Structure formats: C-alpha cells, structure tokens
C-alpha cells in the first residue's frame, strides 16, 4: 500500500528531498492545489472492515474517497523543501494494505487532509500503532 504507510496516510507521499513520509499512503499526484475536505464524499466502507480483506469494489471506494478527501491528485509544496503528493486513484489501487480496520484509517486521513504539511495528527496514532505492530 504504502500509505506511504509504511505508515499510511491515505494515498499520499511526503518527501523532503526524496524520502517518503511514514504517514502518507500511496495514492496521489501533481499540480499545486489546496485540499477541499468539505467537498469530499462520505466513506461508505464499514469501519470494522479490515483493509487487507476489502473486496476490489471496496478498495476502489476507499481509494477514491482518500484521494477526494485530500483534494484530488496534486502535489503540495510545504515550503521547506518538503512536498506532499496525492497520487491518483489508480496508484492507490496498487497498495498492499495492512491488517487494520478502516475505522482506524478514516479519521487519520480526514485529519491529515486538514493540514497535509503538518505533523502527523493524533487521530493517526492508533492507525500507525496497528500498522507497525
């Protein structure tokens, strides 16, 4: 998956000179634009479903939601040599997902979408613990 998950984020990669950020998921792409969190649809995949057990349709729904909630495919220049990239849905579909519940990922992605250049939000702690352990 790599949210750039190797700790996920939701389809996004953070790079500071080339290193992927541990909190980003792999699913975003190019062109500066601010995320439009309020315009994103609700996620319809049940929170109790494990990411590594999603059907193909559920993966597509999750990836589409993650990209949409983060403002669509684009790259954000954080201004300190760090860039966050939100890859297209097709890239997200190639992710290998951890054995963690959707309900741990959802609030993390929603929180990250509000400040993609900020530190990993507290809403991601439980998800990262699941991924790492």
Q: Which of 113, 109, 16 is nearest to 128 (CA)?
A: 109
* 34 vs 83 pLDDT, higher one: 83
73, with CB counted inside 10 A (0-12, 13-18, 19+), is buried
pTM of the model: 0.72
Residues 50-73 have a mean pLDDT of: 96
């Amino acid at each position: 998956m790599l949210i750039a998950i190797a700790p996920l984020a939701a389809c996004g990669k953070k790079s500071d000179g080339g290193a992927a950020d541990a909190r980003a998921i792999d699913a975003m792409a190019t062109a500066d634009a601010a995320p439009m969190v309020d315009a994103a649809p609700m996620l319809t995949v049940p929170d109790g479903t494990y990411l590594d057990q999603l059907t193909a349709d559920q993966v597509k729904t999750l990836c589409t939601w993650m990209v949409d909630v983060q403002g669509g495919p684009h790259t954000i220049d954080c201004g300190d040599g760090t860039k966050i990239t939100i890859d297209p849905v097709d890239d997200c579909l190639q992710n290998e997902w951890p054995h963690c519940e959707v309900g741990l990922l959802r609030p993390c992605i929603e929180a990250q979408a509000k400040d993609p250049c900020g530190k990993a939000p507290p809403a991601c702690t439980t998800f990262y613990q699941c991924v790492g352990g």
